[in-house]
Structure 1
């Protein structure tokens, strides 16, 4: 292990890299979702959801610095059966995440080559997405060395374009007054509308704020964690919140919310800024290239890690040894092929939706719904351990007041359940489309949970709870989880 400790600012940047994604700005500010109401929601949910989540994960990681992270914490609280179920839900959620991210990459690629009109070509986006997932899946079988070259690029792939968007927008609209603002910011316009689309958008914002368990795994390697970790979390939260909120303002100054598309809004806004300032459109192509590289880096990093977590660290006997067998790089190659096949089938299935924008929104919504389920388990696990385990002792404690901890736990859990319900609201154009949408969304989620329980039942294993006193307060000698853009 390395002796060097993680510094305060290194943890801040790690959180930003893991949690910030520029694509959420366009989706949230689209008139089909929250519009200008997204601006205050980014700030509100930062405090109500992200900060409590991050501090809970910090305490769990400090007390149980064990390979497996979230799944291991759930094992401690509820047993091996539910630890497996969380790993299963996390992996299946990433199947939808991959599909939506591949669609986002394909749309960016059309801007990168200077042909944005191709972004609406469903067949092109489908073929490109399937080709990319298979190429990167094969590359990931050689280990993580290839993906690590993209880590630094990935951390800048969203923040730099956001800064460019903010600077160009304010220069063009506020300082040089090249055009009037496309939006009027008042209390009335900033107040979120209470309709089904806006409620669905709330779940997407919460999904954008998930992932705090990644950075929490490094708490034992920090300098002065009791002091620096909560400071780093709050600093990262403030930076992320500012990027989302000010980035949303910048985008809506350049484009009216009625013209913002979830999949192309960022680049459309940059094109508008370049038009107003007389900057060659080549600049937007360079930005699109940076975003595309960050997407590729994140995809490579995430293809192998969740698969290793589910198939590599699963209880012996749950899956056949044929699919859990690893190669010389420690990668379960057959599981990787199985994963790529599932993603391809999913992409083909949703391609029947009308238009790339509808496909992208469908995949993002499915991602938000299935990803939030494991966090319900996480919050309940924290609450149970906090109530029942008298000997919980780690490098960091969110609060020693058990009543306060229970109140925070119940509040965040309720908010998470509310977001899950919102994700499942019918938002399609007509009854027939809503029936198909709900069948895929709710039916798919039920299928995921039931299939996970059936896989466990078929294994014949008992649900064993890990005794707290058997957990050593040491960090294992293994490769840490790698962060990447959502």
Structure 2
């Protein structure tokens, strides 16, 4: 009987794994920043799919199936390099979430203005952003945040939005021509500061595939199915993003594409007039902003909770609900930090507040993954005898290349995102707030980690 039960459990098919990975990783609001790169984004998607996503997916699959504790990336880094580095990975992995929440609160406001054709003042705007932040925060304090129906509805909404933008773009191209040059030459990479600064968004769009590794126990043949799910999932995600990006590129020249309002601006231009369809897409878009945060909250919050229980983050991070055992302390902190950011937003010298917050959240998240790759190599060395349900194939040289190339890409991307390179006024106003925010984030993280160490003594 027990054998039959186990057999029934191991029915998680390749299709299920691919679908789940696409649902979790696909983030609609990052389609516009990626499209702002222009037609050359097609080159970057292909190159990063091969040189970053494939090795990242395989490595995270090995780590996730070998060390399946609740700590995730924190646990991997801690095992490899000690508690302090584990705490840093946990901090960066978590702190990206409240910053992301602030960026989506700003975007939520902008979408309301676009679809309902109203102008919201600063005071009213902050009020709506706070309602968004604390509405999401309250939901994340309850087990409803783990409900599959939120994810399933979000998946449907995301597919409708992406297919609508791409389909309308094809129709616009056939009837009115293209707003951008999509010839072979135009798709070659550009190395100007603006285009390179947006590449971090493509890397951001690939992150989160650790979820596939957690399904290994329910697969009949994880050694075969995990790499297949990663490859097909990555290809499908790239196709969805590029399909939507083509739609935006058909309507708006990339130099004029807004990183925040680009998607809804494109819908309005592609449809040609304001109607019920525009409002429907806008409402679905707003729902995906909420559902993205709710769906991701458990992952980042439990990593922070796990690190706090090991005294690598302050005690407030490990406060749990007595009934549901939800991580209340860290969830409330998310709301507090996001609140501080949106209230401070009017004083930030950046004309695009969404991008200022969003790029800072991307920098923090990518920073946590930098530590993952050397952890993989070190754990292979110091814990090589441990059973690995899935093991990245390849000779030693190939394994090293699969480790160091993605790590170097992450480091270069962070530099391009946060550091002004040409000294132009537009670049300075865009990147200086991100750079300052990054430094402040790292300093606060170090203070928290050292304080946690003293609390644990």
TM-score (norm 2): 0.90
Structure 1 residue 330 displacement after superposition: 0.8
Instruction: Please say if residues 145 and 294 of structure 2, whose CA atoms lie closer than 8 Å, have aligned partners that are also in contact.
Output: no
Specify the alignment match of 1:475 in structure 2. Answer: none
Secondary structure of the residue that 1:263 maps to in structure 2? coil
Q: 1:82 aligns with which of 74, 80, 85?
A: 85
For 2:101 and 2:147, the matched residues in 1 are separated by: 16
Alignment partner of 1:192 is 2:186: no
Give per-residue Cα distances to partners, 1:68-125, cap 9 Å, x unaligned. Answer: 222222222123332222111111121211111222222223344x22x537x55444
* Structure in which a larger fraction of residues adopt helix: 2
Q: 1:435 to 1:305 in 2, by over 3 A?
A: closer
For 1:180 and 1:365, the matched residues in 2 are separated by: 32
Structure 1 residue 18 displacement after superposition: 1.7
Specify the alignment match of 1:444 in structure 2. Answer: 440
Instruction: Please say if residues 153 and 293 of structure 1, whose CA atoms lie closer than 8 Å, have aligned partners that are also in contact.
Output: no
Alignment partner of 1:243 is 2:249: no
Instruction: Please say if residues 29 and 37 of structure 1, whose CA atoms lie closer than 8 Å, have aligned partners that are also in contact.
Output: no
Moved more, 426-435 or 179-188: 426-435
Specify the alignment match of 2:257 in structure 1. Answer: 260
Alignment partner of 1:106 is 2:109: yes
Structure 1 residue 418 displacement after superposition: 0.9
Alignment partner of 1:232 is 2:214: no
Secondary structure of the residue that 1:351 maps to in structure 2? helix
Specify the alignment match of 2:144 in structure 1. Answer: 144
Count of equivalent residues: 448
Secondary structure of the residue that 1:158 maps to in structure 2? helix
Specify the alignment match of 1:118 in structure 2. Answer: 119
Specify the alignment match of 2:345 in structure 1. Answer: 350
Q: 1:48 aligns with which of 42, 51, 60?
A: 51
- Gaps in structure 2 of 5+ consecutive residues: 1-5
Specify the alignment match of 1:408 in structure 2. Answer: 402
Secondary structure of the residue that 1:160 maps to in structure 2? helix
Secondary structure of the residue that 1:232 maps to in structure 2? helix
Give per-residue Cα distances to partners, 1:324-371, cap 9 Å, x unaligned. Answer: 33221112334332321111001122232367x610111111011111
Q: 1:380 aligns with which of 343, 354, 374?
A: 374
Give per-residue Cα distances to partners, 1:241-285, cap 9 Å, x unaligned. Answer: 11222322221112222331111111111112211xx7x621011
For 1:110 and 1:368, the matched residues in 2 are separated by: 25
For 1:390 and 1:307, the matched residues in 2 are separated by: 30
Instruction: Please say if residues 104 and 289 of structure 2, whose CA atoms lie closer than 8 Å, have aligned partners that are also in contact.
Output: yes
Moved more, 375-384 or 216-225: 216-225
Q: 1:22 aligns with which of 28, 42, 46?
A: 28
Specify the alignment match of 2:3 in structure 1. Answer: none
Give per-residue Cα distances to partners, 1:40-72, cap 9 Å, x unaligned. Answer: 212221221111111111111222222222222
Give per-residue Cα distances to partners, 1:309-334, cap 9 Å, x unaligned. Answer: 21355335456656533221112334
Q: 1:181 aligns with which of 178, 182, 188?
A: 178
Q: 1:55 to 1:29 in 2, by over 3 A?
A: same
Specify the alignment match of 1:368 in structure 2. Answer: 362
Instruction: Please say if residues 418 and 432 of structure 2, whose CA atoms lie closer than 8 Å, have aligned partners that are also in contact.
Output: no
For 1:388 and 1:449, the matched residues in 2 are separated by: 28
For 2:369 and 2:97, the matched residues in 1 are separated by: 14
Alignment partner of 1:339 is 2:334: yes
Moved over 6 A (4+): none
For 1:396 and 1:435, the matched residues in 2 are separated by: 40
Moved more, 145-154 or 221-230: 145-154
For 2:312 and 2:83, the matched residues in 1 are separated by: 11
Specify the alignment match of 1:66 in structure 2. Answer: 69
- Gaps in structure 1 of 5+ consecutive residues: 462-486
Give per-residue Cα distances to partners, 1:169-191, cap 9 Å, x unaligned. Answer: 212322xx2x1211122233223
Give per-residue Cα distances to partners, 1:194-227, cap 9 Å, x unaligned. Answer: 2222221112221121112222222222231111
Structure 1 residue 431 displacement after superposition: 9.1
Q: 1:260 to 1:145 in 2, by over 3 A?
A: closer
Q: 1:455 aligns with which of 438, 451, 454?
A: 451
For 1:97 and 1:447, the matched residues in 2 are separated by: 19
Secondary structure of the residue that 1:150 maps to in structure 2? helix
Instruction: Please say if residues 145 and 298 of structure 2, whose CA atoms lie closer than 8 Å, have aligned partners that are also in contact.
Output: no
Secondary structure of the residue that 1:418 maps to in structure 2? helix
Instruction: Please say if residues 146 and 298 of structure 2, whose CA atoms lie closer than 8 Å, have aligned partners that are also in contact.
Output: no
Secondary structure of the residue that 2:54 maps to in structure 1? helix
Instruction: Please say if residues 40 and 189 of structure 2, whose CA atoms lie closer than 8 Å, have aligned partners that are also in contact.
Output: yes
Specify the alignment match of 1:294 in structure 2. Answer: 288
Alignment partner of 1:425 is 2:419: yes
Report the aligned-residue RMSD. Answer: 2.6
Alignment partner of 1:39 is 2:42: yes
